[in-house]
Structure 1
Amino acid sequence: MLIEFFSNTPPILQALYATLFTWFVTALGAGIVFFFKEVERRLLDSMLGFAAGVMIAASFWSLLAPAIEISETQGIPGWLPAVVGFLMGGVFLRLVDKILPHLHPALKNGHPEGIKTNWQRSILLVLAVTLHNIPEGLAVGVAFGAVASGIPSASLAGAIALAIGIGIQNFPEGAAVSVPLRREGLSVGKCFLYGQASGIVEPIAGVIGAAAVLIMRPILPYALAFAAGAMIFVVGEELIPEANSEGNSDLATAGLMIGFAVMMFLDVALG
């Protein structure tokens, strides 16, 4: 039924609906603040590890592997767009990381990063997770754009599976914003508002990704690899260090393994 609904929907709207779902799951995660003022650190680190595992698996199964296959059908060495796009994605996120003021919510004693600003700590916390969500929304949008472009290796079920996987790992990201803000004394309503707001960039990035692929089809393998590189940057720069910062590396690693397995199952079995 879900595939039938998406198959009768224009590709830009497909990307929009899918990323609105991932935003909704972010809001669900942020909604934890209505019930809990704290999230046990061991649980939070496990969830961060899970999110990292989902993103690693999605980067290969849903993005890099199709990028290589598409390149070969276009007569381009399979490794070229994959390597170039992957590194460009990492460079792009590095530049954004250096410029955008933000503060990682899971690091209790962390210092603000990016350009120095007088913005409130709450805004910096939201911007940190917003940074995570840019490549996630872009990945979903590019996946639906690939389907609309008629690429044999790209399937509608695979794009939907990617959106589901990204949505699942957005739940802990929403909680990772709202709960620390609650600890800092903000009202429950403001904590929820800020937590869900961190996901609003995903529909924007998703629509841009789908539109870019439809307009400039030759960039598709580069766009897929770009999204993969951006997501791996987030995993290596932020999620894994944060998940291991309080000495819960065993739980974080277990979460990563489970997250990878869940995303692999969604993409391979359903896609």
Structure 2
Amino acid sequence: MSEEKLGFVGKQVKDIYGTYIGRVVGIITEIDGEIETVGVDTGSGGLKQLPYEQLVIQGDYVFFIPKWRLDAQRLLRQKSLTLKRIKALQEIVAENDSMKEDAELVYIKYEKKLAELEGNEKQVNDALNARLAELDAEARNIKAVLFDAKLQFRSNEMKEETYQQIKVQTDELIEHINNERTEIGNVRAKMAANTLENLTAAATTEQAAASAKGEEAPAAEPSQPAADEISPVQQVTTATAGEEGEKPAMLSANGAEQQSETSWLSQVITK
């Protein structure tokens, strides 16, 4: 077994939203030596076995990726490819009617695959709804803790320093919950928009834009200036690394990732 895999042992585990889960105490391997699960001490929750495929090492931490996130990403990738191939088949038949019979057999295959993926999409949506319900329950519990602490502080049963510590911790937990809610909302929006109609509409819009650009009359070329009218070439200095703005690691509802997941994970290391 490689030292890289053994690097899990002893590291703290967080979810990708920054919530602490526990510490890795060991691993369970398959008969061929591949890691099956990673044992994490969660304190009063006991030793939990987390699937290896849902874990990633980033610096001094191991990050746990929710199963719903992996399932949703896999579904979006497979459905997007299936829709693109169905659209390509439709275009082939439209351009050459003699290939209709050949394309029909392949089309049936992808129609079946699409129906299967739509069934999987329902299961993923059910999992997302269940997770949202869990997050709502967690948020209520956290707010109850904060409210009780505030009540004790106002009745002079608790020092302000203690109350502020509780507030900081509960605010952080609520922030993690809100981050996960936002990502679930983005994933649901992406799945809803991932349809053949939207794919066709996007392609039509791109073609129309390209045609309109091609039909524009070329701009008249300016007359050659006299030798004494030519402006001197100006030097352009390259911006230093410190002058360039940092790109935010946000995942928009249309699925555009503005930064790699690894960079995004590094932002929650300190939380």
> TM-score with structure 2 length normalisation?
0.27
Does 1 or 2 have the higher relative contact order (CA < 8 Å, sep 6+)? Answer: 1
> TM-score with structure 1 length normalisation?
0.27
Which one has a bigger Cα radius of gyration? 2
